[in-house]
Amino acid sequence: MAKVLTVSCKYCFSPTRVPSSGGAKPCVWCKQENDSESFKVRSSDRCEKCASTIGDEFCTRCSSPVESHAETITRGKFNVDYRKRSVLIGPYISWQQFNQDILDFSDSIKGKGYDAIIGVPRSGMVVASQMSIRLGVPLYSLGEYGPIYLGGGLRVRRRNEDPNPQKALLVEDSTASGHSFLEAEKWMGEAMQLWNTSKAAIYSVSGQIEELSEYHRELELPHWFEWNLLWNRWIMDEWKVGVDFDGILCPDFTPEQDDDGWRYLDAMKKARCLVPEGTHIYAIITARLEKYRPWTEDWLRKHGITFDNLIMAPWSDKEERSRFCIGTYKAEHCESLGVGMFVESCPHQSQVIKSKRYQPVLCPALGGSIAK
């Protein structure tokens, strides 16, 4: 029996098999022919120039010699410097990363004498609440008529601290244009000077750093935040954003749940919603089978998610679906619907969609968006 090599298809990057002794064989996904003579792949390596799987002597997509960028290849993951330059058009910040950055920032300003934290609603209140707990100081919100005292917690009250701050910190999750801080300063009124108030943000573009007293991390535009990406109506409508379902709108199914039977259906009905109620999406393109449409639409209605297009997989069952390239299927529907950016949970499918379409693909698992 002839030996075969498992490689990544040079057209759709899906795993496929070719004869080790030579000769061509179609990819089991996209049906394009690959051969072992011209395509000897180390599947863990990626081209530094275009992020594709590379061969022994050349990149199979951009034809760059391996030697020309061998020093910048990172085995098993994207090269970090390359991500900063061109692969990703802005990083993706998850809730987990956001919470960790707040804690790290809070620790970094301990000992600087801040005795009150004021949050700029809404996202700034997430920062302010966690910082007030971490620093053990009173918490304030901000309204049109000035700061609103929300209390200091039992530990602070026991210390009998004066609720009138002497050195307050006005905080936001991020600042890019500075408009929210300008509005917040107006709302602060006299308290801006009386409380010796400084401004801080967890994330700031370089052009706003000089306007801040404190910041945690420089983060240029564009960037994507898990807590407001799909809630940004301008981006969703202007870009005609399309999204994957499982892994984006709800958690992915576990292997035990994904049995294409009663366990799968039960997990589908009980799945948590990962986006805010009232989210509107131009196109949901999912590998869920068409036969599950009634339960899928019921789940969307239950969680207040509206959409213009819901594309579901045409195959009869899970086994038939496994014989096709899901990334190619999604890319074709992105093309037909004119999707401007697609949000995909699977790193592999993200690469396939990007290879088929000249559009950004945002993949939280890759930490950002694969650029045009």
Give the pLDDT confidence score for residue 239 in this predicted structure: 80
**Domain termination residue (choose one: 224, 257, 272):** 224
Q: Is the pLDDT of residue 69 over 80?
A: no
Structure-token pair, residue 38: 């011209």
**Rounded distance between C-alpha atoms, residue 56 and residue 67, angstroms:** 10
Contact 81, 75 (CB under 8 A): no
pLDDT tens digits, 95-121: 889 999 999 999 999 999 999 999 999
**Between these two residues, 71 and 218, which has the higher pLDDT value?**
218
**Domain termination residue (choose one: 174, 209, 224):** 224
Helix (H, G, I), strand (E, B) or coil at 307: strand
Q: How many CB atoms lie within 10 A of CB 57?
A: 10
pLDDT tens digits, 257-305: 999 999 999 999 999 999 989 999 999 999 999 999 999 999 999 999 9
Q: What does the mean pLDDT of the chain come to?
A: 79
Residue of 258, 268, 262, 263 whose CA lies nearest to 295: 268
Whole-model pTM over 0.75: no
Q: Give, for 119, the enclosing helix (H) or strand (E).
A: strand 116-119
The predicted model gives 117-135 an average pLDDT of: 94
> 3-state SS of 1-24?
CCCEEEEECCCCCCEEEEECCCCE
What is the CATH classification number for the domain harbouring 135? 3.40.50.2020
Q: Is the pLDDT of residue 1 over 70?
A: no
When pLDDT is cut at 50, 70 and 90, the band that residue 214 belongs to is: very high
Give me the domain span that covers residue 54.
4-79
Structure-token pair, residue 146: 């000035």
Q: Is the pLDDT of residue 78 over 50?
A: no
Does residue 248 lie within any of the structural domains?
yes
Give the pLDDT confidence score for residue 87 in this predicted structure: 37
Q: Are residues 232 and 311 in the same domain?
A: yes
Helix (H, G, I), strand (E, B) or coil at 278: coil
**Is the omega angle on the peptide bond into residue 364 within 30 degrees of 0, that is, cis?**
no
Structural domain total, the chain: 3
What are the φ and ψ backbone dihedral angles of 256, each rounded to 5 degrees?
-70, -35
Q: Are residues 209 and 242 in the same domain?
A: no
Beta strand 198-204 with 168-175: parallel, antiparallel or unpaired?
parallel
**Domain termination residue (choose one: 207, 224, 241):** 224
Give the pLDDT confidence score for residue 356 in this predicted structure: 82
Q: Is the pLDDT of residue 70 over 90?
A: no
Does residue 314 lie within any of the structural domains?
yes
Q: Is the pLDDT of residue 156 over 60?
A: no
220 contact partners, CB below 8 Å, separation of at least 6: 90, 205, 206
Give the pLDDT confidence score for residue 73 in this predicted structure: 31
